[in-house]
Amino acid sequence: MERSEIVAQLKTLIKPYIDSNITIEGITEESDLLTDLHINSAYLVDIVLDIENEFDIMIEDDVISKMTTVGASVDIINDLLG
């Protein structure tokens, strides 16, 4: 799967959890999930579950803490898919 495809799918999964004043187009790989996108820790758990279902992968608890940015999350997804 291409990186751009993973980014697009991840943006779609994140969309329900971000403020309405943040657009999908405004999300970049450098966007910090907590500070830039204002996703709280409870929503982050929901996003991880959505990612696991969407990509049919299992993300270990110790890896979740490394999902700080969109790009870092894509790297983790890509590694688990590989």
pLDDT tens figures, 63-77: 999 999 999 999 999
Render pLDDT for 35-59 as a digit per residue (tens, 0 to 9).
999 999 899 999 999 999 999 999 9
Kindly give the residue spans of alpha helices, DSSP state H, lying in the chain.
3-14, 41-55, 61-64, 70-81
Reference 37, options 59, 81, 67, 76; nearest CA is: 67
Joined together, the tokens standing for residue 5 give 């495809």
> What domains are there in the chain, each with its CATH number?
12-81 (1.10.1200.10)
Length of the chain: 82
